[in-house]
Structure 1
Amino acid sequence: MADKVIITCAVTGGAHTPTMSDALPVTPAEIAEQGIAAVNAGAAILHLHARIPENGMPTGDPDVYAQFLPVLKQRTDAVINLTTGGSATMPVAERLLAATKFHPEMCSLNMGSINFAFFDVAKRIKSWKHEWEKDYVVNSDDYIFRNTFRDIAYILETMKDAGTRFEHECYDVGHLYNLAHFVDRGLVEPPFFIQMIFGILGGIGPDLENLMFMKATADRLFGRESFQWSVLAAGRHQMPFLTQAALMGGHVRVGLEDSLFIERGKFATSNAQQVEKIVRILREMGREPASPAEARQMLGLKGGDRVEF
């Protein structure tokens, strides 16, 4: 499967707010609709957060997830990947509620604590759709996205019996070493999936030299045969970084969680539009999107018939 690329689509996330883009899905119906369209466009994995339908605030409430997970399972064959990050303001217990109830094939797992800031966006917004949004964004200069060694071990151990595997999100080089620590402890076993993240204020910067260094560090720590790797980049860096990652043999992640744009200065109209664009870029390189079945094989997943939704 050397020519196959796993496309993950991060449908809504927990950082962007409804005021920032009319395309951002908020309600369960919108999340399901955009998720289905993204899979039809070529995504193999859907990375999912939930939001309070009335105002778009991030939530860990399993009852909200339950309104769109069965729809996605029935209407797609996608790998469902639930967040254990939620948002930087959620305690770990809330972040795990949906994962522990639904036992998905995959969950995201941030591999270390970081500052996680997006307060600069507030300077460009004069009016907000919902009361919570402004304080949420402005106060992000004081957010610490907590993921201690104890937190990470707790999440790994809690989900072990469910057979759930992880998208190990690495926002900096030190997170790769944190992952190596858990591999040494036997809490993470190959084949594991590393998501390298660039351009978040508080994480490693969006410089191509950093991409090369992160990949070389992962090769040195784990050996090339132990892991699959993917790249996401925030905002305007999304497509250039994904193109470079694909040239290097990596997988890619798009979606309105990571960038609200389709090109410089132009908002994306949907998640599917971003998937369609990266599919075109990949095919120009002679690479093809992996199917959900191929992604399951590459990542050693348990299968969509063994989830609890």
Structure 2
Amino acid sequence: MTADTTRDLYRHWAAETGSLLRGELSPVALTRYQNESWLHLGAEPVGVQYRDIDVDGLHGLSARPEDPPRGPVVLYFHGGGYLGGSAEAARKLVGHLAVTSGISVLSVDYRLAPEHVFPAQLDDAVKAWNWLVSHDYHPANQVVLAGDSAGGLLATVLAQYLRDKGLGRPSGVVGLSAYYDLDGHSPVWDENGDRDALATREAALQLLPIIAGPEGTVKDPYLTALSGGAHDLPPLHLSYGGDEALRGGGREFAEQAAAAGTEVELEIVDGQQHVFHYAAGRSAAADAALAKAGAFVQRVLAVSA
């Protein structure tokens, strides 16, 4: 499969959007329908067992590699702009991360907008964290937070919330194409031209009030990580496609983190689209990026042990 796998999917979404909307599928329903097709980008990971788990009333999907060590775990949040996506859509991606990190990954479904505006997503993330660390075999320093797109944002703001409330410190945070630039302020939107096959500044601006409600603002420190401060956070690993406009927000947050003394790895992969990581098993770029993410998970857990 070519490096254009993710780009081709997004072009297909754009081509079918008009007909699906004319068929009276609402924009929100359309987004959710399309986001589920992320599952089909990648190949099935080898040697992974999946299990559904009740996470204090939230649906969780555990991806367990062969013979994982007891204790460490990745708590994962799927992408979809807080509007769509699911643990099932992210299943293969999560399975590949379980393989590269060598530990179990727990992917959790959280409430979605517009039925549930922010901070419902953060409330559910906190609930999942509390459930996980209440088990004696999951101490806080043996948990890594991770996610893609809006889920990468959620993993990051959860780390900020835990820091501010004194609720524990995870070992690290992995953000795959994390969606930090909610208000489209980065100049990368202007520089990118037609390279980004999915996102536009106009779409980002339309999405913000749906996520946050009419009273929401990006000044809310937990709505966007860029307002929450990058000080005293665990190590960060951020990975973006070189053709996605959201890399601008990722670079901005990485610079904040470095200036605040937080360890940060920023990877920008030339020619790749938003969450190209979903093509793992069929894309050399996705495989390499997840190998780096898995190595980061192993390293920060070893340091925290």
Give the TM-score of the pair, scaled to structure 1: 0.39
Looking at both structures, which has the greater relative contact order when contacts are Cα pairs under 8 Å and sequence separation is at least 6? 1
Give the TM-score of the pair, scaled to structure 2: 0.40
